[in-house]
Amino acid sequence: MIAETEERLLNYIKERAKKNIEGKSFFTITDLLEEAFYMPKDRAYEVLKNILAKKDIGNSQNAIINEYITMLRNGFSSIQEQVEVFGGDKLSRVISTAENRIKKYNGGTFFEVLKYVYNVSEEDILMLVEKYLNFLKSPSFVFRLDKDSFHKFLESDLEELDKQFQRFLDL
């Protein structure tokens, strides 16, 4: 049994790997592993040998990614090391930075929070709000615009998470 944090990190690794190979085709499985997980060729061969030694798996990209995630879950390699290869746990960093900036913020409109707390530029605010509102779901016409739902939005949209991470780096 793994901790909730590790499960979240595994999900992050899986989503990041899928994003890395989106729209691409590969000649070999090792090419797929190299691109999806940013691993060197020799490491990709080692992973492939372990995958093939365990069981028969499908030749689809998702099957290979899922099997490597299972291997990470079972301790084949360090989950934290794989996350660091992807640039670290960006979601945790964004959330903690936002929490610290919110404590210093005196309140205001939703747009002001995006501008002053999340450091979103004037040009990007409307596009970000549109993506965020499209993310929100409700059985009735009641939506909560709060930091938790915004952070869930960032977690679900890796491209936006990367942009937000960069905004905080640019402070």
Of 37, 33, 32, 39, nearest in space to 15 by CA = 37
- Band the pLDDT of 37: cuts 50, 70, 90: very high
Q: Count CB atoms within 10 A of the CB of residue 9.
A: 21
Give the whole-number percent of the chain exceeding pLDDT 90.
73
Residue type, 143: F
Q: Per-residue pLDDT tens for 81-138?
A: 999 999 899 999 999 999 999 999 988 899 999 999 999 999 999 999 999 999 998 8
As a whole number of angstroms, the distance between CA 52 and CA 68 comes to 11
Of 93, 100, 106, nearest in space to 167 by CA = 93
Q: Per-residue pLDDT tens for 1-18?
A: 578 889 999 999 999 999
As a whole number of angstroms, the distance between CA 171 and CA 168 comes to 5
Apex 77 CA angle, 5 and 165, nearest 5: 50
What region does 87 belong to: left with phi over 0, alpha with psi -120 to 50, or beta?
A: left
Residue 68 has pLDDT above 80, yes or no: yes
Q: How far is CA 135 from the centre of its chain?
A: 16
